[in-house]
Structure formats: structure tokens, C-alpha cells
Amino acid sequence: MNPLFFKINNKSELIITGNVVEKFYKYRQLKKGQNEAGGLLIGRHLAMNDNILVDQLTEPSVWDNRFYAYFYRSNTHNKKLKNIWKKSNKTQTLIGLWHTHPQPVPEPSSVDYKDWRKTIKHGDFVGDFLFFLIIGINKIRVWQGNRSTHFFELIEINKQY
């Protein structure tokens, strides 16, 4: 699949590689009763151009709680991230969170915002921002969360499969 590009500001982009997009596509909730899926976005901050590259993610595990309209990430995702971080000589890091919604154009719930605030407040990550993706049936939407203000800004709504 083709990579996705999301404009962060005037000089940088969030780039999601095709292999990650393919995994998102695999977990879309296309059928009635199909449970939400989610995980962590893992990648690098590129010093040469201020872009952020997502080239890995964690996928749902048997320890997660998955329901039609609810997803709870287990600690296995953090353990995988820590292993990737160590193996990459501390270059691969947490970029954000992803999960699915059974909506054509997804909207975050109050539970999503609560989870995002907790992550941005207490998460161990590089930089001032994390990205929160919701994978809908037809579109991917991305919010950028600010570490200092705990404010979430929608940065893209038009990415369609």
C-alpha cells in the first residue's frame, strides 16, 4: 500500500509507511460485531527534515480487551515498544496510539480523550507531541496531542482508502 502523509505544520509531516497502512486496513471494522483493534505507533523523528516517520506498530494481543465499541491496550504493547527501542539503539520511539472505530468517518469518544490525556501526561516519549489515529471504515483521522497543554488538534480528515 502507499504511504500516508499528514501535514503537521508548515515545515514537517507525519509519514506512515505502506506496511503500517496495510495493517490498519486489515483491522477496519467492516462487519457487524467485529471488535475494535489498536496499538502503539512506533517510529523516528527525522533530524534532517523535521518529519516524523511511523514504520512500525503494535498489533492487538490476546491480553487486550476488545469489544465492538471499546478497546483496552494491555501492557504487552509497552513491553514490545521497550524491546524495539532497545534493539534500535534508542532511535525507534513512541509516536502515538491507533485504534479502530466502526464508523465511516471516525470521531473520538470521551473514553478516547481520557486515554489520550493519560498517555500525553504520563507517557515516556520524545518531543512535545504524540499522534492519535482512529481508523474508520472509509477514512483515517489524526489528532495531534500537545504535551504541555494537553490539547488535541485534528490535523487531517480526508485520508480515504
CB 120 within 8 Å of CB 130: yes
Give the tens place of pLDDT for each residue, 28-47.
Answer: 999 988 999 999 999 999 98
CB 132 within 8 Å of CB 57: no
Q: Which three cell numbers stand for residue 58?
A: 503494535
Give the tens place of pLDDT for each residue, 81-105.
Answer: 999 999 999 999 999 999 999 999 9
Structural domains of the chain in order of their starting residue, each with its CATH number: 4-137+145-160 (3.40.140.10)
pTM metric for this prediction: 0.93
Confidence of residue 157 (pLDDT cuts 50, 70, 90): low
Residue 122 burial by CB count (10 A; 0-12/13-18/19+): exposed, middle or buried?
exposed
- Using the predicted structure, report yes or no on whether residue 111 has a pLDDT greater than 90: yes
Q: Which three cell numbers stand for residue 12?
A: 514537517
